[in-house]
A and B are shown apart, each in its own frame.
Chain A
Amino acid sequence: EAQVTQNPRYLITVTGKKLTVTCSQNMNHEYMSWYRQDPGLGLRQIYYSMNVEVTDKGDVPEGYKVSRKEKRNFPLILESPSPNQTSLYFCASRRQSLANTGELFFGEGSRLTVL
């Protein structure tokens, strides 16, 4: 089954304690992206990756890091989480080509609370 898998789905942590949210896709997609969703603000892009070892900032990258060492995985790293990073996070992927930008496939989301 084609899917994007995120872990953990729920996490409560404290300010400053480093954490990683993993994302894995089994569709051999080149493009992967992280979004955060907050009430009234919609989905905002944090980082994206066009392919292995190629990453770039989205609209709200401050406080986050990513890496793309393998095509299937795109972890989101919060080096020193702060309460304003409390949010619902989504990982997404899609095929990437000049002819077809296509639909995004989303994971089920990771709800993060930073105390």
Chain B
Amino acid sequence: SQKIEQNSEALNIQEGKTATLTCNYTNYSPAYLQWYRQDPGRGPVFLLLIRENEKEKRKERLKVTFDTTLKQSLFHITASQPADSATYLCALDGSASKIIFGSGTRLSIRP
């Protein structure tokens, strides 16, 4: 069955460092991979989308890589700030109807 894993339930890093979150998947061939941010008690908010034929995508301090051979995506936040503390979800989008989400990584940035 299709499976998506975000290998860290929680990640704590020092302000200013680069946070790297990992998303691995099996038994799936997504056309797109998306990353969302979720704050406590709120709905997820879209951050970035990367297509299967793209290796890397950037948006301000965010960078996403997508390796379809390794079946893995890496999500980087450079120069991290306490305001970046949140849960980050990766999502696989392989068809027009179904998006599968990982369980998320809770990121904490300490001052």
Contacts and interface: CB of A to CB of B under 8 A. Distances in A.
B103 A40 contact: yes
A92 B34 CA distance: 15
Contact of A109 (B43, B97, B103): B43
B101 A103 contact: no
Contacts, number: 54
B7 to A, nearest CB: 13
Interface string B70-111: 000000000000000000010101001111111110000000
Interface of A: 4, 31, 33, 35, 40-45, 48, 50, 56, 58, 90, 92, 96, 98, 101-109
Interface of B: 31-32, 34, 36, 41-46, 49, 89, 91, 93, 96-104
